[in-house]
Structure 1
């Protein structure tokens, strides 16, 4: 059902986005990415890290993912991916990525119509490539610095820039402006669940990597920062010298 207050909501969201853009502009256009680690909240982050390891199962049997049928996990992922495509399209547009905007729009249209509202990934069957981005990446393109390192409960490692991006992404998905409750929360719930299940599925691999380390927190922090920095530089064409720790 269409929300009758969608216009005012969209105006508020665009206003907030404009404020963030202005703050980003004030930070300057020259982006200097760090090569070291900025972790002023390490003590608290370590506590969250221990909690996340316990929830994920610490690599013993896959944790939460072991209890959820894989077919159901696939459907959750498909719905989360499809519901996020309008948001991906918005961020692609803000980054000046016209090709990414087209891919996100095409995937959403195909999967919403032919994929039973996103339960099935029909777009991939039509050879439409997957595309993903977020407001954290948009801030990177705009020149906003990385900020401090954080480990978030259930969601795992992040940075100050990406935490801000997550918050903004909660309000910039066009679907949240046209859907009523509770439909407008389906995408957010599916995305959160998909992220938690993904972390749980990867717990065995992560455990193998961290198991040989004397400090699993420091190792996980290093792997995340290397991977995120590499992904951002690769996606935006500003290639850096970071190694991809997950490369085959």
Structure 2
């Protein structure tokens, strides 16, 4: 058994990377007419494409266009939790990730990433069935079968057969069903979320295959700690993109990414229906009466 204090540290390390990952996951570029176009990256490992985008071309759109009182009514508390998470990252996780990237070969890191992604495929398939997408679910199960039989998931053989990974979770499924996201919340250790996604995270964790593969506590938490460090190392190349008010940038990127994925899966016209599932969305007249979220309200 692992001592509770060590287990808490591992949980912190595992979870504190998530808020930065969402800031990297979705980026908007600005057209010549000053309108924004959403460009979703496949996953947090598509770093090369992000490096080609000039920083002055980046623009967070999405729910960022709404005042904080609409999208983030719990902002004072959320900012305090964000400061805690950010401090944990800077003093614990990031230094370890830097050493990990420098000393572990790229092939080994990639193989471990594939292994972890492969373990998530059955849960992807279950969510895709719940979303009414049996063909997509069959593809996810096919990926799991092929990759497990050929390499125990260490190599992504299925991708070479043009069976690409499509990540899903219960929060996305609930969004596809029309369940409102609720207010934005910053969770200790776990990072950005909403009421809907936060509740769904509990089911996501219990549904993870690795929970049943690694039966003893030591193996389970060691594997999660390695996953956290491995994922954080992938973000080192893009963390410089966050300037100014990091809290607002990460919040808006998270809300944008989740809304984009859900709208896409529902087959909606992104130009007219983006983010319309949120009950906190207000009319133009209501927004005119509220102050803009242009300044941070504390750390």
The TM-score range, normalised by the shorter chain, is 0.5 to 0.7
Instruction: Tell me the residue number matched to 1:67.
Output: 99
Deviation at 1:192, TM superposition (A): 7.1
Q: Does 1:144 align with 2:179?
A: yes
Q: Residue 147 of structure 1: SS of its match in structure 2?
A: coil
Q: Is the 8 A contact 2:172 2:258 kept in 1?
A: no
Deviations 1:158-194 (A, max 9, x none): 11111112111223357767x57239x85x9756754
Cα–Cα, structure 1 residues 163 and 199, in superposed 2: closer, same or farther, change >3 Å? Answer: farther
Counterpart of 1:132? 167
Q: 2:259 aligns with which of 229, 238, 245?
A: 229
Shift of residue 76, structure 1, vs aligned partner? 2.9
What root-mean-square deviation, in Å, do the aligned CA atoms of Structure 1 and Structure 2 show? 3.3
Give the alignment of 1:33-72 within 5 angstroms. Answer: 36=66, 37-57=70-90, 63-68=95-100, 69=104, 70-72=106-108
- 1:150–1:78: structure 2 CA closer, same or farther, 3 Å change rule? same
Q: Take 2:148 and 2:214, find their aligned partners in 1: how far apart are those partners?
A: 18
RCO comparison, higher one (Cα < 8 Å, 6+)? 2
Distance in 2 (alpha carbons) for counterparts of 1:159 and 1:207: 26
2:144 to 69, 84, 108: 108
| Map of 1:96 onto structure 2 | 132
CA distance in 2, matches of 1:198, 1:182: 23
* CA spacing shift, 1:155–1:64, aligned 2, 3 Å: farther
Cα distance in 1 for partners of 2:115, 2:121 equals 10
CA contact (8 A) 2:119 2:209 kept: no
Deviation at 1:195, TM superposition (A): 5.3
Answer yes or no: is 1:182 the counterpart of 2:216: yes
- In structure 1, stretches of 5+ residues that fail to align are 1-32, 244-248
Q: Could you say if the C-alpha distance between residues 197 and 159 of structure 1 is closer, same or farther in structure 2, counting changes exceeding 3 Å?
A: farther
SS at match of 1:114: helix
**Alignment-derived partner of residue 83 in structure 1:** 119
Q: TM-score, normalised by structure 2?
A: 0.57
Q: What CA deviation, in whole Å up to 9, does each residue of 1:203-247 have, x standing for no partner?
A: 552432x32x2x22122211221222112211331233359xxxx
Partner in structure 1 of residue 191 of structure 2: 156
* Count of aligned residue pairs for this structure pair: 202
Match 1:219 to one of 219, 242, 249:
249
Partner of 1:3: none
TM-score in terms of structure 1 length: 0.68
Separation (CA, whole Å) in 2 of partners of 1:139 and 1:192: 28
- Name which of 157, 163, 171 aligns with 2:206: 171
